[in-house]
Structure 1
């Protein structure tokens, strides 16, 4: 009661009038503007960035032929090197796609999990990735194979799937459990539609779609990296707005409404931004499963913040995709596995653990409630006796 004010950790951007600041935060001044920065989150972000740089250098070093790190740095910095073809032409564009896809999935998962207040609510669980996949595979089936058009079709499919889930889950408000359950139902239905498209298409198209459905960076280059990079650059202002808006959504509904927050509009904006990010990433590399599920929760546990950190989620997602694709290229070399196989191998056990944990927590809460009712009835009976 006498310690920390409730909800202090969920509003790191606010500076209190009396000068007090929440525990764990430091004050940063940029001109006349003052910001509160969570110290542990900042340290974690720096550590993740360093890990990502090391993973990226290793990604460019290892392949059918090993390139020394010094040569890799030369190529990245634009200096002349005999390894320009291997590093700059073959490996660097694929790495760029992996970095952008991982960051996009990480941010998308953080936004949607925050709105739904449920760690299971990620784009690949509630049908958004499946909607993007269904439209993309349908386009491939009917002869649309241009990689410049497919990302836009993926965005349209993801937005349509999210709109359907949102409409069916809305009952005078957005209930988290209903949102997740209806999303899972739509994911199953959309996956069936995708399979139908694959059976109706040409054999070679179906084979290409099957590899894409697994989530793969094989053959990806600047043609996929460029539109994805431009899209993320355009969405940077929206992401900065989301980082601030997430604090209001994380508050209790009554508190947020009392502060003048229009929860319906804010939640819709966060979901729409997450859907666009997840759909664009899906269009570039396919539905790389469980990245959007894992990255936000890993980042939150490392930073120990009440709110999911967007920067930490983006960096964690990029690290996951880069390391998974590096292992996918080297585990069964010269055969290259789709990156989605590695992420699914890690993500599926984590999903099972989440389900078991949530069920155990619900059972413990119900048991405590029953015990409390029994105790109260026993005391009442004793008092009457």
Structure 2
């Protein structure tokens, strides 16, 4: 069938959708998984808006979201919905960022919070807070600048006639440790009250977050859509070995630089909005890849998984130890740290098995 919108021949497990003169290869399982994740995310959002100091019926939640008059407008529309929107956008940004960084590194252990991006954002923000260098409204921009500076530092040290995956990860971990130590040093030198506020920010929290933080994050994600579409295709070349990519005429260094830049920008902006919510960028791409069983990390599923992880984690953080409210980063770290240790142990067993 050659007419517009018809399905052409495709490899097993894929469908080639032909629209006019363009043909797009779609992985059937990835589409089904993305649809299932979207449904789960919608259910999690409704549960998030229903649950709190007072329970709101799902019907009233839907009315508020649709802009219809409701007696629960204050609770749902003013108090809970802005916080939810920030969580959704930040989770999606972390998920896409983790997918691009792991593609470049060709390593499931790599993520923006492991290679120093979030630690750079944290150091810059804590320094600005502790010494009163900028106004509070400017802190998200300081966070973005810190994350970009840390990524540039890793890139400069990792570059040696090209960007090699193993060197990129190892240097990123070293920079991350160094920046974390500097952050702790800054906390001991600043004002005690401000230092406590900075420590709360460093755990990652959606408390008091609203449309002021969601607006810039949404704008960046919207502007990044063309880059995300490009990244979904560029992943295929970035996952190849250096020799294979050169043989196919792929400019591997440029592709890796573009993917890394996309991941760093999204991570820095999301960190500026919520603080460093650790391990979301590590978990989401691997969960998405295992669900879809694709060769490359699916960006759409990674974004949906990241958003789902943040929303569910923040819901649990609000209600698990009520009336005490935990920062969302505490919950994600509690899940992500054991996963990271398991992943390291699993990678080590594979390496020993390959060597023997």
Common fold: TM-score over 0.5: yes
Aligned match for 1:152, one of 134, 141, 150: 141
Gaps of 5+ in 2: 1-7
- In structure 1, which of residues 100, 105, 108 is the aligned counterpart of residue 94 of structure 2? 105
Which of 1 and 2 has greater Rg? 1
Quote the offset at 1:261 in angstroms. Answer: 1.4
| 1:133 CA drift (Å) | 0.7
CA contact (8 A) 2:116 2:179 kept: yes
Structure 2 match to 1:57: 46
User: Aligned-pair distance for 1:147?
Assistant: 5.3
| Aligned-residue offset at 1:97 | 0.5
> In 2, Cα distance between the equivalents of 1:247 and 1:149?
38
CA distance in 2, matches of 1:21, 1:28: 9
Deviation string 1:191-221 (CA, Å, 9 cap, x unpaired) is 1111122222222211111001001111111
Aligned counterpart for 1:92 among listed residues 81, 97, 118: 81
Count of equivalent residues = 349
> How far apart are 1:30 and its partner, in Å?
2.2
Distance 2:192 2:251 in 1: 50
> How far did residue 36 of structure 1 move?
0.9
Is the aligned partner of 1:262 residue 2:213? Answer: no
Q: Please report how far the alpha carbon of residue 258 of structure 1 lies from its aligned counterpart in structure 2 after TM superposition.
A: 2.4
The match for 1:279 is 268
Cα distance in 2, alignment partners of residues 287 and 259 from structure 1: 39
- CA deviation map 1:205-245 (0-9, x unaligned): 11111001001111111111111111111111111111111
Kindly provide the CA deviation profile for residues 264-300 of structure 1, in whole angstroms up to 9, marking residues without a partner as x. Answer: 1111011011000001111111110100000000000
Aligned-partner Cα distance in 2 for 1:31–1:51: 33
Which residue of structure 2 lines up, in the alignment, with residue 167 of structure 1?
Answer: 156
Of 126-135 and 228-237, the range deviating more from structure 2: 228-237
- Measured after TM superposition, the shift of residue 137 of structure 1 is 1.0
Partner residue of 2:315? 326
Equivalent in the alignment of 1:13 = none
Q: Cα offset for 1:336?
A: 0.5
> Unpaired segments of 5 or more residues in structure 1?
1-18, 368-385
More off after superposition, 68-77 vs 201-210? 201-210
Aligned to 2:132: 143
The one-character-per-residue Cα deviations of 1:134-191 (angstroms, maximum 9, x if unpaired) are: 1111111222564542222222111111111112122223232222121111111101
3-state SS in 2 of match to 1:149: helix
In the alignment, structure 1 residue 182 sits paired with structure 2 residue 180 = no
TM (norm. structure 2) is 0.95
Q: Quick one: which of 319, 338, 341 aligns to 1:352?
A: 341
Q: 1:20 to 1:70 in 2, by over 3 A?
A: closer
